[in-house]
Amino acid sequence: MDKVKKPLMLSLSKCAYGVNQSGFMGTIYLLWNVWVLVRSIHRYPKPTRDNLGRHNAVVLFDIWEEFFEYEDNPGRDPLLRALMILSIVTYAHDGYYGTRGDWFLERLVKKYISGEWQPRRPWLPCSFWKEPVDLRGNSDGVI
């Protein structure tokens, strides 16, 4: 795991803090490190329902699978799949980040239920999204 996680953390740090470069070279530097970051994530073992130990990791896997049924932007696919792999594998195998993910989700659900977090508008079409549009404004996914 060190061969995978160490380059990932290094690239993430470089993307977040960068160097004192701006303009074209700064952009190239950032893009290079994003590419290294995505490549590092794709070295993680591919998550499946069978190789995830934690129940919530399987739920997260199912949500990502449903997401990719609707997502239809090939240009963003590598980045989104990298985010999927990173979120599921990290949640399943790293208790530190898993518990922080639980905390964040609990707070997000509370904000959603209280009305502070505005729900999406399912009747508004979204580009590169294949979910059927509900013209009545109802959504079966709304809490």
Per-residue model confidence as pLDDT tens digits over 61-117? 999 999 999 999 999 998 899 999 999 999 998 899 999 999 999 999 999 999 999
Say if residue 133's pLDDT is above 80: no
Structural domain for 58, as ranges: 46-131
Is residue 34 domain-shared with residue 50, that is, in the same domain?
Answer: no
- The number of distinct structural domains making up the chain is 2
Per-residue pLDDT tens for 32-50? 878 888 888 888 889 999 9
Say if residue 16's pLDDT is above 60: yes
Q: What is the model's pLDDT at position 12?
A: 65
- 3-state DSSP call for residue 71? strand
Say if residue 28's pLDDT is above 90: no
Of 71 and 29, the one with more pLDDT: 71
Of 96 and 4, the one with more pLDDT: 96
In a domain, 136, yes or no: no
Is residue 105 domain-shared with residue 75, that is, in the same domain?
Answer: yes
Is the separation of the CB atoms in 30 and 15 below 8 Å? Answer: yes
pTM of the model: 0.75
Q: Annotate 73-95 with b (16+ C-beta within 10 A) or e (fewer).
A: eeeeeeeebbebbbbbbbbbbee
Q: Can you tell me the distance from the alpha carbon of 22 to that of 29, in angstroms, rounded to the nearest whole number?
A: 9
Is residue 29 domain-shared with residue 68, that is, in the same domain?
Answer: no
Is the separation of the CB atoms in 60 and 54 below 8 Å? Answer: no
Is residue 33 domain-shared with residue 13, that is, in the same domain?
Answer: yes
Q: Can you tell me the distance from the alpha carbon of 25 to that of 78, in angstroms, rounded to the nearest whole number?
A: 24
In a domain, 34, yes or no: yes
Say if residue 142's pLDDT is above 60: no
Q: Can you tell me the distance from the alpha carbon of 98 to that of 53, in angstroms, rounded to the nearest whole number?
A: 12
Is residue 52 domain-shared with residue 121, that is, in the same domain?
Answer: yes
Q: Annotate 31-49 with b (16+ C-beta within 10 A) or e (fewer).
A: eebbebbbebbeebeebee
Q: Can you tell me the distance from the alpha carbon of 70 to that of 66, in angstroms, rounded to the nearest whole number?
A: 7
Q: What is the model's pLDDT at position 143?
A: 47
Is residue 127 domain-shared with residue 64, that is, in the same domain?
Answer: yes
In a domain, 33, yes or no: yes
Of 31 and 92, the one with more pLDDT: 92
Is residue 32 domain-shared with residue 56, that is, in the same domain?
Answer: no
